[in-house]
Amino acid sequence: MQILKTNKFKRCVDGSVLKEYLVDAEVTRETLSYFEDYGTVKILENLKQPFFSFLKDEYFSIKGMVGDQTLYVRYHEEHVDESYELFRTMLANWAPGMRADDVTIAPAAL
pLDDT of residue 103: 47
Q: Domain 3-109 class?
A: alpha beta
Residues of the chain with pLDDT under 50: 103-110
Per-residue model confidence (pLDDT) at position 107: 39
pLDDT at residue 100, as a whole number: 52
Tell me the pLDDT tens digit for each residue of 26-38. 999 999 999 998 9
pLDDT value at residue 64: 96
Q: Where are the domains of the chain?
A: 3-109
Q: DSSP labels for the chain? A: --EEEEEEEEE-TTS-EEEEEEESS---HHHHHHHTTTSEEEEETTSSS-EEEEEETTTEEEEEETT-SEEEEEE-GGGHHHHHHHHHHHHHH--TT--GGG----GGG-
